[in-house]
Amino acid sequence: MSSRNNLIDGRAIAQQIHLETSARVSALAKRGIQPGLVFIRVGEDPASQVYVGMKEKKCAELGIRSVTQVLPGSTSQSELVGMIDSFNADPQWHGILVQAPLPRHIDPATIYSRVAPSKDVDGFHPLNVGRLMLGDPTGFTPCTPGGVHELLIRSKVQLEGAEVVVLGRGNIVGKPMAALLVQKGRNANCTVTLCHSATRDIPTHCRRADIVIAAMGVPAFLKADMIRPGAVVIDVGVNRIPDPTARGGSRLVGDVDFAEVQPKAGLITPNPGGVGPMTIAMLLANTVRAAE
Ligand code: GUN
């Protein structure tokens, strides 16, 4: 059964978006504009180093100029604010991304509201969060929920009227994901249930869903007995768990117990190779839009 191909190929769909983005980069070049994206990384979080490295590499492939500012973990909030202000004022940079997580002494809300809304390719500024909530398409959509939305649309998943369960209420994925899917209009119009740590009976909610989006950060949380046969399952989780048999003593697992759930699902994202590549594709698309 597990050989049944019900996989949503995030790498292939991301590649399609990269082709579209690349054409837009060429059109901008004819106008003498090269999109520019600044990454700011504070401290030495190993996962953040890997993520920013992958994003930089894709920028280079697509002809987007990028620079990474690495600040020590001891950087003060006011120093970081000062750096954001200087990039806000510099017209050669169209996008600014401050990689999360930030050190504990820095308040993320202060930082994300400091990035100019017109350069906020992460979609974390309160103005862009508000636009998303209002269904105003002029804002920037956060990259991970935006990527999940594109995966569903391009996989021709029926969204209008669909029952969707989002697991996790984080500001980066769960909340904006719910906001995207409840909007009135084509490619949305879902009935969304947002489950979280205080939800009384998560399995009962999940079993009613046509689409389950797991983004709560609990390794292999979603089991086969929690989904309806044929449900569409999207795994946003990236969890590092100890594994003495793995190289380095640990490995990455999603929020979905893939081996169990895949045979029962209608469509499912592999992890890795599902949502991850889409996040990068949406970031670069947002950057090009900022430049346009
Ligand atoms: N850390 C994990 N995901 C993200 C993201 O989408 N943007 C930023 N800036 N940091 C992250």
250 DSSP β-pair partners: 242
156 counts as catalytic: no
**Identified catalytic residue from 58, 99, 120, 175:** 99
Q: Report helix angle 126-134 to 174-182, nearest 10.
A: 30
Angle between helical axes of 143-154 and 174-182 (0-180°, round to 10): 40
Q: How do the domains of the chain map onto residue ranges?
A: 32-125, 142-276
Q: What is the 3-state secondary structure (H, E, C) of 34-64?
A: CCEEEEEEECCCHHHHHHHHHHHHHHHHHCC
Domains 32-125 and 142-276 share a fold: yes
- The active-site residue out of 58, 119, 120, 122 is 122
The mean pLDDT values, 10 residues at a time, for the chain of 292 residues are 80 98 98 98 95 98 98 98 98 98 97 98 98 97 98 98 98 98 97 98 98 98 98 97 95 97 98 97 98 98
Of ligand 1's atoms, which has the minimum distance to the CA of residue 144?
6
Which of 97, 275, 278, 282, when mutated, tests ligand 1's pocket best, judged by the most ligand atoms within 8 Å of its CB? 97
Rounded to whole angstroms, the maximal C-alpha distance in the chain is: 56
pLDDT at 193: 98
Of all protein residues, the one whose alpha carbon is nearest to atom 3 of ligand 1 is 100
Q: What is the model's pLDDT at position 96?
A: 98
- Looking at domain 32-125, which CATH architecture does it have? 3-Layer(aba) Sandwich (3.40)
Residue 218 CB burial class (10 angstroms; 0-12, 13-18, ≥19): middle
Confidence (pLDDT) at 143: 98
* CATH number of 142-276, picked from 3.60.15.10, 3.10.20.30, 3.40.50.720, 3.40.630.20: 3.40.50.720
pLDDT attached to residue 3: 54
Which is the closest atom of ligand 1 to the Cα of 122?
7
